[in-house]
Amino acid sequence: MTIRPMQTAEDAAAFRTLNEEWIRRYFTVEPEDERQLGDPFGVIVEPGGEVLMAEVDGEVVGCVALRPAGDGDYELSKMSVSPSMRGGGIGRRILTAAVDRARELGATSLFLGSSTQLGPAVHLYESVGFEHVPPESVHMPYARASVFMRMPLSAVDGSLSSTP
């Protein structure tokens, strides 16, 4: 598996498809989803963020976005793995690559919003060091968000790349 930055219109389309799959399965696509999925280069990359794509045998099978929120704070957003590839550790590899990349981008902390309906994702976030925080401590524009987490990167030493 290769994890690399989003580079092409085809990558942007895969980013949209992967995310719409899980959002529509459990929730409703919200205006902020449309904004990010409709123009990930303009909304995420150009302001200083990054979208990472996981590829297996030339096929994009996962993704995650890092969105700058100011003062070294980044939102970890739009993480998805293709349904046929879930359960094989790809999500963990994408997540740890995103944490490492956030450090390279100068992030001092990461935050995210998730949902109690996404138990495996919440457990994965907890397992790499995200901690639950009060909802008012993060800006989260999604009605579906019921779990709020943060990881202070300055308190975490080294890379997570070796995490199994």
Domains in the chain: boundaries: 2-155
Q: What is the pLDDT, as a whole number, of residue 162? A: 38
φ/ψ of residue 32, rounded to 5: -65, -35
Q: What is the pLDDT, as a whole number, of residue 17? A: 98
pLDDT of residue 7 exceeding 80, the answer is yes
The average confidence (pLDDT) of the chain is 93
Domain at 2-155: CATH code: 3.40.630.30
CB-CB contact of 113 with 133 (8 Å): no
pLDDT tens-digit readout, 84-103: 999 999 999 999 999 999 99
Which regions of 21-154 does DSSP assign to beta strands (E)? Answer: 50-56, 59-70, 73-81, 109-114, 131-132, 147-152
Q: What is the pLDDT, as a whole number, of residue 46? A: 97
pLDDT band at 160 (very low <50, low <70, confident <90, very high): very low
- CA separation for the pair 156, 132 (Å, rounded): 16
pTM: 0.92
pLDDT tens-digit readout, 119-156: 999 999 999 999 999 999 999 999 999 999 999 997 44
Q: What is the pLDDT, as a whole number, of residue 79? A: 97
CB-CB contact of 110 with 130 (8 Å): yes
pLDDT band at 159 (very low <50, low <70, confident <90, very high): very low
